[in-house]
Amino acid sequence: MTDLKSQTPEELTKTLKAMGEPAFRGKQVFTWLHKGVGSFDEMTNLSKSLREKLASTCAFTPPKAVRKQVSKLDGTIKYLWELADGNCIESVLMQYHHGNTVCISSQVGCRMGCAFCASTIAGKVRDLTPGELLDQVIFTQKDSGLPISNIVLMGIGEPMDNLDNVLKFLELVNHPDGLNIGMRHISLSTCGVIPGIERLAELGLQLTLSVSLHAPDGETRSKIMPVNRAYPVEALFAACRRYFERTGRRISFEYAMIDGVNDHDWQADLIAEKVRGMPGHVNLIPLNDVVESPFKPSKRTAAFQKRLETHGLTATVRRSLGGDIDASCGQLRRKAMEEQKGE
């Protein structure tokens, strides 16, 4: 079955031409798909015979919201989407004064093994297709009724571990005949997969690169992030510097504050030393308390922030959203999996 949602207008045109249809049908189908229709029957400007032909030869499986949590505190919405094969992923819609942001997943599960993250507990199942990435944006917007202006790829999975599909998704979501969300309104996060960073640098996309740093020294980072054994933190800093020199784009360093592990003053000093001369932003994240994890939230976040600022670094503390729901990455999927095992 042909995956239409993962195709560009040009590719759709070729697909429709192969069915004996005129070229303009490709753009029509592309527009309908990006409006979030639920079936081919909703594509009312297509002939009935074409709709039937598409239904019999093309995959069209919008995700199903099997769980939805809405925060009474700030309106944050957490979705657990069921995909066509029965696997589930998460998306989170966050409302800010500058617009609405959706955080989307890039894989079913994750193989990176970060010790403090709920997303990686069950490992990686598979990559998401460009269409499945796109559907999270389209159907979050459709279900919530809120226009989405910003996207962050920081949900379940490592985007750089599925980079080809992620790049195709970026092309689709940026297309003027689709959602037309500009690259400057998109952030892509990585735990430090250096080949992916280098590839992004070559492409020169105007998105924001977010690096999940979480420790500036190799010993600590290897304990909490297995990826550091493949791509050591020293090499990661060097790759980030090359990325900045190539693109001129400031990097955001994500830093989950873990009590007694990565919240020491000397680690703040080391961060400042490693990023000196490379404009960057350090985003301190209050750690989510994952039951299975021995790591607990730091009590030194404010002091750590102040220490960074004494070095002239821009450091902020991420505002916690959805405090009364399972808004942190991977928790809702994990609960659903546990309930399935108990049945």
**Active site amino acids:** 90, 329
Residue 320 dihedral angles phi and psi, to the nearest 5°: -75, 125
Question: Are 139 and 148 spatial neighbours (Cβ–Cβ below 8 Å)?
Answer: no
Task: Identify the DSSP state of 222.
Answer: H
245, burial (CB in 10 Å: exposed 0-12, middle 13-18, buried 19+): exposed
Range 176-201 burial, b when 16+ CB lie within 10 A, else e = eebbebeeebbbbbbbbbbebbeebb
What are the distances in angstroms from CA 134 to CA 4, 294, 320, 340?
Answer: 12, 35, 25, 27
Distance CA 243, CA 227 (A): 19
Q: Residue 321: name the closest of 76, 26, 3 by CA.
A: 76
Question: Are 75 and 321 spatial neighbours (Cβ–Cβ below 8 Å)?
Answer: no
